[in-house]
Structure 1
Amino acid sequence: MTRRAHGGRTEERRLLGSSFGAAAAAYAEHRPDYARAAVRWALEHAPGPRVLDLGAGTGKLTATLVALGVEVVAVEPDPAMLAELRRALPAVRALPGSAEAIPLPEASVDAVLAGNALHWFDMAVAGPEIARVLAPGGVLAGLWNVLDDRVDWVAGLARAGGSAAIGPRDTLGGWRVATADAHLPGTGRAAGFGSPEQAEFPHGQRRTADSLVATLATRAGLLVMPERERKALLGRIRAHLASSPETGRGGFTLPMLTGVLRTRRL
């Protein structure tokens, strides 16, 4: 990849990754939590209870960690997202910061988890920074909630929404492909991390057509889209949901999985 191409990709990632603050309240209301079994698996080999939720957003993963009884500190770069997290979880230590500049001392946590955030990190910088704050043997794990596109109406939803609403990492099939480019630090002793492992855990969220459309409206691709195009795309999604027997008659369970990638600091 040329320097220019890499710079363009980095700028696009920065733009999309910084888009969520404008919709922080909607994000907090509509985005799903994470399957508890997935979070337990992510933490299975952590040497202690101290967990950093990195890129914590409005606290969706943070809340699950609190419910599991671990010691959580949350770090989030966007002020609006951080404010929502602090409002929802006032007892959690929540700090401004980023994956590339973590405001914690060396070896201060036993696990670093990132919920639907790891792909926004600049891992060339974030990898060493994560290794710095992890205790020896500590765990790094990324978790993603993905739609189960093995279900016909979900596959149709992905087609109707296109990549702006449902990106390549937002479906089970796409997530499995994306794990080949694991978004984790390099493996081996020189890189400081072991070989990554992955697993998938069933999950679901009760939705209506309106609330699912509201959820998809918080996707980064839609948040940066011109308003006219955004309304047209959401209209196509509504039409698909109205025409599907599973989703056109009131409430339904959105079939999802929580996919996990984990590795350990050597």
Structure 2
Amino acid sequence: MEESVRRSLGRSFGPTAADYERSRPDYPAAAADWLLAGLDDSPRRRAGWPATVVELAAGTGKFTRSLVAAGHDVIAVEPAQPMLDRLVRAVPEALAVRGVAERIPLAGSSTDAVLVAQAFHWFDTEPSLAEIARVLRPGGMFGLVWNYRDESVPWVRQLSRLLGTDRSQTRHAEELIEKLEWSRLFTPPKRTTFRMWQRLDRQGLVRLVASRSYVSTMSPADREELLFNVGQLFDVTARQPDGLLLPYTTICYRAGVRKW
């Protein structure tokens, strides 16, 4: 994806903040536990200090909730003010800061963990990795998490055909992990997966699609046609009044920072 296109799509989330908050799935609690495994053994935690966890591109706080619930001091960094406003209302326990991954507004060696949920592919990879390494303390860790639709389910596969499949994004994520390894700023990443399901009614499925960056930047006519077709897919697939269960595979990576 060209840099100008990536940045344009990344900025498109602000106007869709309401749909994003109402329709995007949460994350398995086990994902946050796995990503932050080992922090309890850090010197600061053993000394009785809470871990400081930074979440980049925190959006409306979908993943922030899990981090706060785990008992950490959370700094949520988000560039889009409409998303940040919703995060403040949803997760007031987190410290909300406006900023970007390429210029993290924190001092060097000031945090125990940096996490990114469903957003690392929007970053300018090399400068953001350098910034993440800069703000991490010795022994700190970097974690990534993505939710991917399970396209082994026929109706989900049909939804992906309407949208354009996420398989290219899956490949993109794998390429980003390779860049993380090549940077030599972090230890070789570990990987795990979890399963989760999201129950959706008709409006919820349409809002989920509408919240996607490339959908929000379509022409009004193309967007209306796509959302109509998504509604039709729900009508012929769902067993009313139960709606649909959208299955996901949640993929997590974690790596330790190297401090020379």
TM score, norm. by length of structure 2 = 0.89
Which 5+ residue runs of structure 2 have no aligned equivalent? 46-50
Which residue of 203, 206, 218 maps to 1:210? 203
Distance (Å, rounded) in 2 between the aligned partners of 1:92 and 1:184 = 31
**1:185 CA drift (Å):** 5.0
Distance (Å, rounded) in 2 between the aligned partners of 1:178 and 1:120 = 11
The change in CA–CA distance for 1:17 and 1:142 in structure 2 (over 3 A counts) is same
Indicate yes or no: 2:255 matched with 1:263: yes
Question: Does the Cα contact within 8 Å between 2:125 and 2:176 map onto a contact in 1?
Answer: no
One-letter amino acid matched to 1:230: R
**1:160 CA drift (Å):** 2.3
Q: Secondary structure at the match of 2:203?
A: helix
The equivalences for 1:184-263 within 5 A come to 186-187=180-181, 191-244=184-237, 247-250=238-241, 251-263=243-255
Distance (Å, rounded) in 2 between the aligned partners of 1:57 and 1:136 = 27
**1:206 CA drift (Å):** 1.5
1:126-165 residue CA offsets vs partner (Å, 9 max, x unmatched): 11100000111211111111111111211111112225xx
One-letter amino acid matched to 2:246: L
The answer for the alignment partner of 1:180 in structure 2 is 174
**1:259 CA drift (Å):** 1.1
The equivalences for 1:82-93 within 5 A come to 82-93=84-95
Tell me how large the CA RMSD over aligned residues is. Answer: 1.8
1:46-104 residue CA offsets vs partner (Å, 9 max, x unmatched): 33521101110111111111112121111111111111111212232111111011111
Q: Secondary structure at the match of 2:116?
A: strand
The answer for the alignment partner of 2:133 in structure 1 is 131
Distance (Å, rounded) in 1 between the aligned partners of 2:176 and 2:14 = 26
Question: Does the Cα contact within 8 Å between 1:185 and 1:191 map onto a contact in 2?
Answer: no
Which 5+ residue runs of structure 1 have no aligned equivalent? 1-7, 170-174
Distance (Å, rounded) in 1 between the aligned partners of 2:104 and 2:179 = 16
* Number of residue-to-residue matches in the alignment: 248
1:217-244 residue CA offsets vs partner (Å, 9 max, x unmatched): 1000101000100010111122222222
% identity of equivalent residues: 38
Distance (Å, rounded) in 2 between the aligned partners of 1:129 and 1:187 = 15
